[in-house]
Structure 1
Amino acid sequence: MQQLAVHASRRGVEIDVTTNADRRRVVFAHQDLADRLTEHPLNYQRPDQWTGYIPPAMWQGLPNRSPRRDALVAIYEEALSRSAQGQVAA
């Protein structure tokens, strides 16, 4: 998969090679972010029901403007930001 990403990148195409497990690990390191998975518009009964999947940015050639996707991206990006800053959940 990494080779595919490098090949695509050289041609100006970005491919997300992050796995669902990677995304879950990053988000679940912050309990408040994991808890947001149970809020609208995601509405999981428990945070651990989220597989780590984030729908693609493009769907059938059009931008994916799903509120669920937007919420997942926001949660994941916040988790990445905290990780980059060395913040660990208390």
Structure 2
Amino acid sequence: MDMPDFQRLWAEQAARAHEENQARRDRVLAHEDLAKALTQPPYAISDPRRWSGWIPPRTDPPQVCGPSCGKHHNPCNWTQHRARINDSPIRAQLVEIAAEALRRETQPALDEVEP
């Protein structure tokens, strides 16, 4: 039996996200100093190999408005109900570590050049 289109799309997106997380994890763990950074606060995982490569989203999910909001449409356009920026220190740390790993992978020649 074939999956409905939305299920197929969801499965494809989940598989793609898993591959991206795995690639991010592999990039970070390839560098001992970056792997060690995962063990430092605020994330402070006991074993860097346990990190899945997942980084929390940039924004928190928007609030779904209901009758108590006074608005009868979804999504609500009230400022306080819009998606908030995820300013978690853990997210900031993971983004910084992953960005450095990506920089090292994409610009390895620059690391070898002496000033």
Q: Alpha carbon RMSD of aligned pairs, Å?
A: 2.1
Moved over 2 A (4+): none
Q: 1:13-67 deviations in whole A, cap 9, x for unaligned?
A: xxx9562101111111111101100000011011111110000001121100000
Larger Rg: 2
Mapped pair 1:63 → 2:64: no
Runs of 5+ unmatched residues, structure 1: 5-15
Q: Count matched residues.
A: 74
CA distance in 2, matches of 1:19, 1:62: 24
- 1:82 maps to 104
Gapped runs of 5+ residues in structure 2?
Answer: 1-8, 10-15, 62-82
Q: Which has more strand, going by share of residues? A: 1
Q: With the length of structure 2 as denominator, give the TM-score of the two structures.
A: 0.59
